[in-house]
Chain A
Amino acid sequence: MACECEAVICCRVTPKQKANVVSLVKKYKKAVTLSIGDGANDVNMIKTADIGVGISGQEGMQAVMSSDYAFAQFRYLQRLLLVHGRWSYIRMCKFLRFFFFKNFAFTLVHFWYSFFSGYSSQVAYEDWFITLYNLAYSSLPVLLVGLLDQDLNDRLSLKFPKLYLPGQQGTLFNYKNFFISLFHGIFVSLVIFFIPYGAFLQTMGQDGEAPSDYQSFVVVTASSLVFTVNLQISLDTSYWTFVSCFAVLGSIAIYFGIMFDIHSAGIHVIFPSVFTFTGAASNALRQPYLWLTIILTVGLSLLPVVCIQFLHKTIWPSVGDKVQRNRRKYEMQLEEEEKKKKTSGFQRNRASRRSAYAFSHTPGYANLISTGQSIRRRQTAHGGNAGRRPAL
């Protein structure tokens, strides 16, 4: 019956009973629970819930020290959930989906290549590329998405609480999304292998020397993959800061820098048997034909995704999409509201008025409240809190 109610109030409960209520909800509703409290009697409840929030204040620091998040005022909970919680969920989901996609795209190329290499598990990239791919060539941009991305700014997130629903319903990362990432990775790996395969079938280089050798093939597939993966994350990023720009361009630059280094003459002289790709990058990448191959591969990997996303957002827009589309309009509305607030003179901010009560074994500061000493008496017609006797 409690679940049918919008809100349930339990009063005169002991700490143990508070924890029991939370575990009841957790067990039978299979929900993610959050509990917030500020006193030592809330510690049990905070520890039992999935997320515990402590308010630091009158009652001491016990609640804060056993909690996952702590802040000073109850009203900050709204910001914690609607802004930071929502952003965190969206970032995590983008990060996970992208990580699965890029690794599927990277690995499955070998699967397709094995059909043409006698099933001998011949790698379709240089060994050093495989080592550095997840380390340097594709990880920084997605890491920054996981840290900084915001699809809507904080004021709009607070204005439209409905945007919080995808997080509660788990719509951004579930089995369906995982399989979509998988298929996306499969599609991109097919493109990255078969376009260069077709281009390398029976062709020769600009000066007659055949470029259809293994090392040039490897350079072409690796370059297309790095470009595709980095451009895909830049399409997925909603919040373009200077750092994300730098990360994407930096990853691509690092790739070319390291590749030309490894394929250079100097390093081969020092380690002849470790670096055997001498001259591959410079020979391959001076041919316009191979650059056209790379451009086609990258284009064919990215354009269908843009198209599908556009169609999806047009035909079945989510709440987030709708808000994003009309972002300017809403931001202007918010600014107008703020201006109105400012011009209407000084107002005591109601939210900071002390109206939360703490129960403790010692009298504490209750006198301040009960005698009305801490509340300014207001003679204006605002009515309400001035001189109101608090319920104890």
Chain B
Amino acid sequence: MYSMSMWNVGRGRKKKGRGMTGKGELLHPGKDLSVLLTSLFLCSPVDCAIKAMVKHEQEEFPNRPDNTAFTQQRLPAWQPILSAGIVIPGFVLIGLAFIGVGVGLFITSRDVQVLELDYTGAVATDPCYKCSDPSIKNCECTMEFHLDTLFKGPVFIYYGLTNYFQNQRKYGISKDDNQLYGDLDTFKSPASECFPYGYDSKSKPIVPCGALANSMFNDTFRLYRMVNGSKKEVPLNGKGIAWWTDQNVKYRNPNETPLINAFNGTVKPINWPKAAYELDTTDVYNNGFINQDFLVWMRRAALPNFRKLYRRITKDEYQAGLPAGNYSLEISYNYHVLSFKGKKKLVLSNISWMGGKNDFLGIAYLVVGSLCVIMSIVMLIVYAKFKFPEED
């Protein structure tokens, strides 16, 4: 009997311990009755009594904290530890995989052919030195080069610039995306980011506005192959040099034909020789804002020394590549870079599954792979040395 009384007292204390007042001990008549009724009708007498008691207890402790796996931190879990059996073989495998990839990348990169021609004309002995004076307009110069072996096709021609910070922040935001999407309202009122290339000296709106468009690269190149003493032009393909999404989604011409009508009341960018609607009058899909050269320029480069695709050599007899021989490059030199110590280059390259020639990634993979293998050996030695005795 004493034990019974103690048990009851204990239960009473537990109830109060929930941090609430003694309200919990009052029985709710309604609940009690329902418990009784269900127990009467759904179970045998002994079961009912037990069930009723259990339910009674549960309802008497409404403040009992949840006893679920989540709240009591008993969730089923996996507790891995990075033991030697996982780390050391893992490092070896990863190291070998990286070395394999590195070798693949390095060999592929070595097989890519690249030819770079610097035509800035900084030094007096350069063929294009005469054009490097900014005051001379419409200058033309010629560079000669020789190919020893077949330059495998398809050959891509890039123009490269150095020390040119297309990734400069203010330069990069200096454009009006709404104009470039063909929104005619913004033609008359360019965005404020375009300042100071939004309006010209006579306060007329510039389309397309901004420094990014204004500084478009405007040198042009013609490639000639010397065959039996005479020059034969190599046809260059200017289609498909920009991203498909740029040409078809991101930039749109305004919805007017002829295109020139949309540009009423606006002027071309200050440094451009021709207006936007005259960029390619032969092909309506290459004119205006969706001109491929313009799109290639507008795609900002990430680093100060960059290359942009100019043309591809894909036609007819040059599909297999440029055969060995002498070549001559005629350049219309319009773009001046010497004022900021930049350089201009023409680059001929073919590509592989990994893109252009870049030894860095292959070498990096090889280095990291070999470091992994070396470290796994070091870890094995350390583990063997510090092999722990049975400890408490």
Contacts and interface: CB of A to CB of B under 8 A. Distances in A.
Interface of A: 56-58, 61, 64-65, 70-72, 116-118, 120-123, 148, 150, 195, 197-218, 235, 238-243, 265, 268-269, 272-273, 276, 278-279, 282-283, 287-289, 292-293, 296, 299-300, 303, 306-307, 309-311, 313-315, 317, 322, 324-327, 352, 368, 373-374, 376
A72 B13 contact: yes
Interface string B40-80: 00000000000000000000000000000000010111111
Interface string B307-337: 1110010000000000000000000000000
Contact of A201 (B16, B77, B303, B375): B303
B391 A287 contact: no
A376 B379 contact: no
Given A122-B168, A265-B245, A374-B2, A212 B353 contact: no
A204 B76 contact: no
Contact of B364 (A71, A198, A213): A198
Interface stretch (B142-150, B175-183, B274-282): B175-183
A36 to B, nearest CB: 14
Interface string B147-175: 00000001010101000011111111000
A311 B382 contact: yes
A206 B355 contact: yes
B100 to A, nearest CB: 12
B309 A278 contact: no
A184 B361 CA distance: 23
A58 B35 CA distance: 31
Contact of A315 (B171, B302, B382): B382
B168 A117 contact: yes
Contacts of B76: 241-242
A353 to B, nearest CB: 10
Contacts of B178: 272-273
Interface string B8-28: 011001101111010000000
Interface residues of B, number: 90
Contact of B375 (A117, A240, A307): A307
B355 to A, nearest CB: 5
A121 B183 contact: no
Contacts of A368: 9
B286 interface: no
A368 B311 CA distance: 101
B360 interface: yes
B177 A212 contact: no
Contacts of B73: 148, 150
Contact of A240 (B78, B168, B312, B382): B78
Nearest to B354: A289
Contacts of B31: none
B386 A293 contact: no
B77 A272 contact: no
B141 interface: no
Interface stretch (B81-89, B195-203, B225-233, B264-272): B81-89
B82 A116 contact: no
Main secondary structure, interface of B, reads mixed
B290 interface: no
27 contacts: A57-B13, A57-B17, A64-B17, A70-B17, A70-B19, A117-B304, A120-B168, A120-B170, A201-B360, A202-B305, A202-B307, A203-B356, A204-B307, A204-B349, A217-B303, A240-B80, A272-B181, A272-B183, A273-B178, A278-B246, A279-B244, A292-B361, A303-B368, A313-B82, A314-B84, A314-B386, A373-B2
B308 A210 contact: yes
Interface of B: 2-3, 5-6, 9-10, 13-14, 16-19, 21, 73, 75-84, 87, 91, 94, 98, 101, 105, 154, 156, 158, 160, 165-172, 176-178, 180-181, 183, 191, 241-246, 249-250, 299-309, 312, 349, 351, 353-358, 360-361, 364-365, 368, 372, 375, 379, 382-383, 386, 388, 391
A197 B303 contact: yes
Contacts of B382: 311, 314-315
Contact of A213 (B181, B301, B355, B365): B301
Contact of A206 (B91, B303, B353, B372): B353
Contacts of B165: 117-118, 120
A205 to B, nearest CB: 5
Given A209-B241, A210-B308, A272-B177, A279 B101 contact: no
Contact of A311 (B21, B79, B176, B379): B379
Nearest to A289: B354
A48 B230 CA distance: 101
A163 B337 CA distance: 67
Contacts of A373: 2, 5
Contact of A324 (B81, B177, B246, B351): B81
Nearest to B155: A208
Given A198-B364, A199-B360, A376-B3, A208 B305 contact: no
A282 B17 contact: no
A199 B19 contact: no
Nearest to A220: B302
Contacts of B361: 198-199, 289, 292-293, 296
Given A202-B307, A273-B176, 7 more contacts: A58-B13, A202-B357, A210-B309, A212-B307, A283-B245, A303-B375, A314-B382
Nearest to A273: B177
A72 B351 contact: no
Contacts of A283: 243, 245
Contacts of A239: 77, 79
A279 B247 CA distance: 11
B304 A118 contact: yes
Given A303-B91, A314-B386, A214 B364 contact: no
B245 A212 contact: no
A202 B75 contact: no
Given A118-B304, A278-B250, A314-B386, A211 B355 contact: yes
The 7 A-B residue pairs with the shortest CB-CB distance, nearest first, are A279-B245, A204-B356, A217-B302, A56-B17, A72-B17, A198-B360, A273-B177
Contact of B245 (A148, A278, A288, A311): A278
A148 B73 CA distance: 7
B19 A64 contact: yes
A352 B6 CA distance: 11
A317 B13 CA distance: 45
